[in-house]
Structure 1
Amino acid sequence: MTITQKLILRFVFLYFLLYIYPYGFEYTKEIDPNNFSFWKGVTTWFGKVFLGWEYNPNMLLNGFDSKYDFTRFLLIAVISIIGATIWVFIDSKIKKEYNNKLKILLQTILRYHIGLTLILYGLSKVFLLQFGTMDIDTLETPIGELNGMNFVWAFMSYSKFYGITAGLIEVIGGLLLLFRRTTSLGAFLLLIAMTNVVLMDIGYDVIVKMFAIHLLLMIVFLMWDDLKRLYDFFLRNKPSTAATYLPLFEGRKGKNTRNIIKGTLLLYVFISFSFDMTERIKQQHSNHYKNFTSSHEIELFVKNGDTIPKSKINGNRWNKIRINDLSYLPETLMILNEDNITQRYKFTVDTLTKKLHLTDFYGEDKTQHKLTYKALENKVYIYEGIFKGDSLRMRTRAKSISDYRLTRNGIRWIRDLE
């Protein structure tokens, strides 16, 4: 191995190790990375001194393409360059050969880190957690008011089939990385999947671009030895030798050590992921009031006995009510005034007494408000009650999920068959 190759190997090893620690351990839900991270102080100091950037210590936006992230990446690169140079210099004095072991260690770290990370993200897609499901708030928001990331989330949440399929590819690819014999196949599968993710994140300005790019770079380095084989096989039509990923620990004792460590890790991950996914599914997909999910256009609004017409824009009239029991904000109700001020509330429904019980979503106001409702024909509703000391009576016309053109039809194989 040449001096340049040694420098590159050590630089990559240090960079990925420092990048992963500790913020990359997303698959360890029981551990808060901030409790044992040393990056906050040194990163903000480095940015102030060398980049001239100021930071809000309470709003570092770690993981979201922030100034803090870019500063940390640059700092890691500087540390890795210096560290790799010193490392190679020391190696030149001690004359000990361990480059292959170092490479195997790095491959092992990347296999498990990439694999567990993408299994976690894949499962969140399979269970419709990452992007949620199409909800009333999304359907009621004009497309021109969405930013690129909101647009991608709407696009992904529209099709359960596409979202689940994308998640399964990540889960399968991640699982394949956990075993040396299937690493090449898993890396190749994830190379395609993550290339697509990176292109989408860049093209639609999703705020986790650097996170996705780092995962893609890890996959490329992991399968570096496979690239020539793939080139020969696919482009030169030449036979290729089988890829070999060597174990970190060799011999019978090494095999037993590997099995114990791997078994313990996978058992922990299985239990942790099970609890985490169960809790998230419970929070996002409880759907106690799925049939109430709808947007209500308020046709008649009477406040304290006075009918307030639509043309009167002074904030006293409600314009719409959105009742949502899907996606990220289940069991919430949003009130939209004519002056575009919105208020969000948690709600429960008593179907026997026909009452809505509302409490402030953010918990600042503990007051409970009650509105009775009555369903008439043609999705017309009557709401009455006392809200913040005011007597209200409203007649609304509801629009449910199935009433929108976007969500009216599912997958149709024959377009003109009615």
Structure 2
Amino acid sequence: MAVIIALFQIGGSILLLYRRTTLLGAMTLLPVMVNIVLINIFYKISIGAFFNSVLYSVALVFLLLLHRERLKLIFWDLVDQLPGIPLGRGWVKHSLRVLPIAVAFVSLKALIATHPYDQTLKGTWQVEKLVRNGQVQQATAWLTNKKAWSRIYFAGYEGCAFSPNPYRFDPGESLFGSYEFDSLQNKLQVAFYSHDTLRATLSNRTTEAMRLQGILRHDTLDIQLSRLRR
């Protein structure tokens, strides 16, 4: 992703060097820069990076405003040449436009209703304490041991990942699997793609914290978790 974004930035910047392609360059770069502004805001990147991204975005908007007559001609005044589809009354056409939106929301509601335990655990959990076979995991153990998890991610469709790195998610060092959760008995079973299975019990469970105790292969686990985000 970083390489793709960089290529768009470099390509768009080159387009800005020529008058004939300035508009195309600004239109290419602006979505990328707005995305970077949002990343800087929500992931709390340094204030210098945020200031630069806002400054570049404002500059790109200024370049687009210099071509506002062209843009108005293309996006507003241009007459659509596609053949019309006779659908009778106007309300039928408007209803068909709204139908895909309604179907999307109904489908999402149905998925949530049929997978209630997905919502119970779904989110990012921080490992506050991990005890494996009676030994407490040290805070820096993740640097040399991929089983010294620092984050547990429960995603949609019962997918999950156990990650050692507390600062970033790296698929190459994480343990992936699918899970089933019985909220009535507080039983959790995780089938990892490595063909190992974790069978655990959840206790002290609230919306923001829980304790996971179980067995994975020959290891007994006792993990104290707190929720970072949903």
TM-score between both structures, scaled by the size of structure 2: 0.49
Q: Which has the larger radius of gyration?
A: 1
TM-score between both structures, scaled by the size of structure 1: 0.31
* Larger strand percent: 2
* Larger helix percent: 1
